[in-house]
């Protein structure tokens, strides 16, 4: 007897996340900003109309692995935190259809130039957020 394969169910990436487990299993579920199952990755899409919705006033860092950030529509200014106190923040502009790979352990943030749709893929386990005003200018 042949096992029945379940009918695929659409997942709204703007309201849920897709979690990819270390065993290769894929499930839909709640978005997590800073925590996730050990060894799992999260794929999520975001609508944002203001800098506050992309935490422009906070640096973010993922110690477990690199992060992929894709701009589906709109434009963002993407920043890596300077590695020395005297270095300026230099933005990289990302537009529709472009992406950036953020190296593991590297503090980053973004500002938007109007409404955007973003897609990110990252492990959430251990993710840290730090206010820009409080951040020292190093990668530690």
Instruction: Kindly report, residue by residue over 81-91, the tens digit of the pLDDT.
Output: 988 888 888 88
Residue 138 has pLDDT above 60, yes or no: no
Q: What are phi and psi of 117, to 5 degrees?
A: -125, 125
- pLDDT tens digits, 16-39: 999 999 899 998 988 877 776 778
pTM score of the predicted model:
0.82
Nearest to 61 by CA among 45, 41, 36, 81: 81
Helix residue ranges per DSSP H, the chain: none
What is the three-class DSSP state of 24?
coil
Boundaries of every domain in the chain: 17-134
Nearest to 43 by CA among 79, 68, 75, 23: 68
Confidence label for 103 from pLDDT (cuts 50, 70 and 90)? very high
Higher pLDDT: 110 or 89? It is 110
* Lowest pLDDT segment from 5-9, 30-34, 103-107: 30-34
- CATH C-level class of 17-134: mainly beta
Mean pLDDT for the chain? 88
- The encoded tokens of residue 104 equal 């593991």
Confidence label for 61 from pLDDT (cuts 50, 70 and 90)? very high
Looking up tokens 């996340």 gives 17
Cβ neighbours for 99, distance < 8 A, ≥ 6 positions apart: 68, 69, 70, 71
């Amino acid at each position: 007897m042949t096992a029945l394969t379940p009918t695929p169910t659409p997942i709204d990436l703007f309201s849920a996340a897709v979690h990819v487990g270390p065993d290769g299993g894929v499930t839909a579920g709640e978005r997590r900003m800073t925590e996730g199952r050990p060894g799992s990755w999260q794929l999520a899409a975001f609508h944002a109309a203001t800098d506050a919705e992309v935490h422009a006033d906070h640096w973010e860092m993922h110690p477990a692995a690199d992060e992929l950030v894709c701009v589906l529509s709109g434009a963002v200014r993407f920043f890596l935190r300077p590695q020395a106190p005297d270095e300026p923040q230099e933005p990289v502009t990302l537009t529709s259809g472009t992406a950036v790979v953020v190296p593991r352990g590297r503090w980053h943030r973004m500002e938007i130039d109007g409404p955007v749709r973003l897609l990110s893929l990252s492990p959430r386990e251990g993710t840290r957020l730090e206010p820009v005003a409080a951040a020292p200018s190093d990668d530690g």
